[in-house]
Amino acid sequence: MSKPADLVQGTLDLLLLKILALQPLHGWAISLRLRSISNEVLQVSEGSLYPALHKLEQEGWIQAEWKQTENNRKAKFYSLTRLGRRQLETESANWQRLSSAISHVVQLSEA
């Protein structure tokens, strides 16, 4: 029940890095963003979101900061570090390679 079965291993990391690359966000906002940008196709359990975020933080790819939200509450905002930006580049390149390879294979078998 922990890992979303429909997400390829490591994909969640990539998604989170990508989302945080656009702007710093807190956990709740990230979960909303995840839901909306993937058009509800990718089901990310809210439970696995926080362990994933903390793992990225401990890896040094994102960093956290307590800030005021728009309705004046304190929340933990995550943002990308320099290392994270580099990691995002490699991971997305990997992803491009992998997905194009897979779609290539898929097309082959249909032909």
Q: How many residues bind another protein (CB under 8 A)?
A: 27
Is 9 exposed, middle or buried, given 0-12, 13-18 or 19+ CB atoms closer than 10 A? exposed
- Please state the closest distance from residue 66 (CB atom) to another protein, in A: 8
Residue 74 within binding range of another protein, rule CB under 8 A: yes
Residue 10 within binding range of another protein, rule CB under 8 A: no
In 3D space, the residue among 99, 94, 100, 79 whose CA is nearest the CA of residue 17 turns out to be 79
Q: Apex CA 97: angle with CA 8 and CA 86, to 5°? A: 85
Residue 79 within binding range of another protein, rule CB under 8 A: no
Binding interface with another protein (CB under 8 A): 1-2, 26-28, 31, 45-48, 50-51, 54-55, 57-60, 63, 66, 73-76, 81-83
